[in-house]
Amino acid sequence: KLPLESIQVVLEELRKNGNLEWLDKNKTSFLIMWRRPEEWGKLIYQWVLRNGLTNSVFTLYELVSGDDTESEEFHGLDEAMLLRALQALQQEHKAEIITLDDGRGVKFF
């Protein structure tokens, strides 16, 4: 059992490292991330490069649930975290999130 002050120090350190995000302004609810979105994005993009899939389009479902990614660490990744990872890649001009007829997808560059 930690005192409240100690818990706040730990949570703030996690936030500084990018592994915690406050979900409300009162700082009563938070998301702890094993990997930062940028780290997930890097893993996804390494898979894209390894498999020669630049200039390819994937649905979000294919990325986290498809047979081609079954052995990858990002397989089964929560969709919200996947979107954050893809947004990080989009900022680096390595991907573009697109809207498809049946949902969202991503094109890798």
Does residue 101 carry a pLDDT above 90?
no
pLDDT given at position 72: 97
Q: What pLDDT is recorded for position 61?
A: 94
Domain count, the chain: 2
Domain co-membership, 7 together with 48: no
Token digits of residue 8 = 């706040």
Say which CATH number the domain at 66 has: 1.10.10.10
pLDDT above 90 covers a percentage of the chain that reads: 94
pLDDT at 14 (0 to 100): 96
Tens digits of residue pLDDT in 25-73: 999 999 999 999 999 999 999 999 999 999 999 999 999 999 999 999 9
pLDDT at 102: 78
Range of the domain at 85: 37-108
Burial 4-39 (b: 16+ CB within 10 A, else e): eeeeeeebeeeeeeebbeeeeeeeeeeeebebbbeb
- Coil, helix or strand at residue 87: helix
